[in-house]
Amino acid sequence: MTPVADKLNAQDWDALSMQLYSKTAKDVEQALMRPKRTLEDFMALVSPAAEPYVAQMSALADQLTRQRFGYTMGLFVPLYLSNLCANECTYCGFSMSNRIKRTTLTLDQIKQEAAAIKAMGFNQLLLVTGEHETKVGMHYFCEVVTYLKTQFDYVMMEVQPLSTCDYETLHQAGVNAVLVYQETYQRRAYARYHLRGNKQDFDWRLQTPDRLGQAKMDKIGVAALLGLNDWRTDSVMTALHVQLLQQHYWRSRYVIGFPRLRPCEGSENSTTSGQFISSRQLVQLICAHRLLHPYVELSLSTRESQAFRDHASAFGITSMSAGSSTQPGGYSNTTKALAQFDTNDTRSPDEVAQALVAKGIAPVWSDWLQGFRS
């Protein structure tokens, strides 16, 4: 049973989109005045009618962020374990038809990567792979996590969707959080971008956060890939997804990501998408999520520029990656595999931390440990 996914599937995308695009300035002003906002208010806040109100939204978002999270910013780093992938996705550098050098890190190489990451100061990391169940599956994940939990307090994963039983096993092995992004919540658009492999299964992916909730994972991450489809309607579905998950799996925490399409090897969609979201619109979206979800973590990656990330740290973002390499072996230079996508903010972790301190924000290099949350 997947109660959240079933409710998401019941949504009429076209009706939702029409409802969103019919919002007026009056709807936006009423949403801004409310002490507690609804999904209907969120629609107004991400609608075109809200674009003139971004400065007001930013001020309110900053207020809510400081009330809940204080002047802090969680810092993490992605560790890419493998670029093997059995899927054909038109927007991703790991896509199976791309003729690139493929590699999967050995445990010895992972130890070298871990040492390099520890030297940068991190105590939490995000494990990332392409989706290849046979060569990069549960046996590999358990071996890697078992070692890395001796080095890092908080371990997150962004890999292929797994079963509830597998998530329970990984949770017991030490995984604290799992991010599985839907890419787009519109079924017909999803089919256009996912051409081969298990990732073609829209429902299996949509049901993944349900399985994570059933496995009692500490933190669950959701997002749409911004620029792949209509970002406004996708974002309403993302917001609804989080609301439903909170109702059904209230023991877990939630994090919303904001990945924008970036250039990558073998993909034209990254640069020619007809659903472009501007930086100002991304600010609008981040603020809208904060105004609807005062207690949810909002996370930003190094896909975004230094200037944008510094700005976003002031009004709603509460965690961000730093010093990222999106190729396996990129921290210790143990391989020359292709990166998944191009990063934008190329500063070192220390430089990112110094920029935060200059804004009066304290960098936090780990996350809440489970013992302090019981």
pLDDT band at 272 (very low <50, low <70, confident <90, very high): very low
Mean pLDDT of 317-327: 93
Give the pLDDT of residue 372. 52
User: 31, 53, 51: which is closest to 277 by C-alpha?
Assistant: 51
DSSP letter for each residue of 286-354: HHHHHHH-TTSEEEE-TTS-HHHHHHHTTTT--EEE-S---STTTTTT---PPPSS--S----HHHHHH
pTM: 0.93
**Which residues 6+ apart lie within 8 Å of 267 measured at CB?**
90, 91, 92, 93, 95
Residue 95 has pLDDT above 90, yes or no: no
Superfamily assignment of 3-365 in CATH?
Answer: Aldolase class I (3.20.20.70)
Mean pLDDT of 167-173: 98
Residue 315 has pLDDT above 50, yes or no: yes
Residue 268 has pLDDT above 80, yes or no: no
Joined tokens for residue 358:
């200059």
Give the pLDDT of residue 342. 57
> Strand ranges (DSSP E) for the chain?
72-82, 88-89, 124-129, 154-158, 177-179, 194-196, 219-222, 253-257, 297-300, 319-321, 362-364
pLDDT digits (tens, 9 = 90+) for 184-234: 999 999 999 999 999 999 999 999 999 999 999 999 999 999 999 999 999
- Using a 10 angstrom Cβ sphere, with 0-12 exposed, 13-18 middle and 19 or more buried, the burial of residue 250 is exposed
Give the pLDDT of residue 369. 64
Give the pLDDT of residue 357. 97
Mean pLDDT of 132-161: 96
Give the pLDDT of residue 317. 97
pLDDT band at 27 (very low <50, low <70, confident <90, very high): very high
Give the pLDDT of residue 271. 39
Share of the chain above pLDDT 90, in %: 82
Rounded CA-CA distance 148/111 in Å is: 8
pLDDT digits (tens, 9 = 90+) for 38-49: 999 999 999 999
Rounded CA-CA distance 209/222 in Å is: 8
Give the pLDDT of residue 176. 97
Average pLDDT over all residues of the chain = 92
Residue 29 has pLDDT above 50, yes or no: yes
Give the pLDDT of residue 96. 82
- Residue pair 280/50 in contact by the 8 Å Cβ criterion: no
Residue 269 has pLDDT above 50, yes or no: no
Q: Classify 170 in phi/psi space as left (phi over 0), alpha (psi -120 to 50) or beta.
A: alpha
> What are the residues facing 156 on neighbouring strands?
126, 177
**Which residues 6+ apart lie within 8 Å of 190 measured at CB?**
183, 184, 202
pLDDT band at 263 (very low <50, low <70, confident <90, very high): low
Joined tokens for residue 69:
């999270």
Mean pLDDT lowest among 63-77, 99-113, 193-207: 99-113
Give the pLDDT of residue 371. 58
Mean pLDDT of 179-184: 96
Joined tokens for residue 189:
């658009």
> What are the residues facing 158 on neighbouring strands?
128
Rounded CA-CA distance 297/289 in Å is: 10
Joined tokens for residue 15:
């009706």
Mean pLDDT of 342-369: 90
Residue 35 has pLDDT above 80, yes or no: yes
Give the pLDDT of residue 273. 46
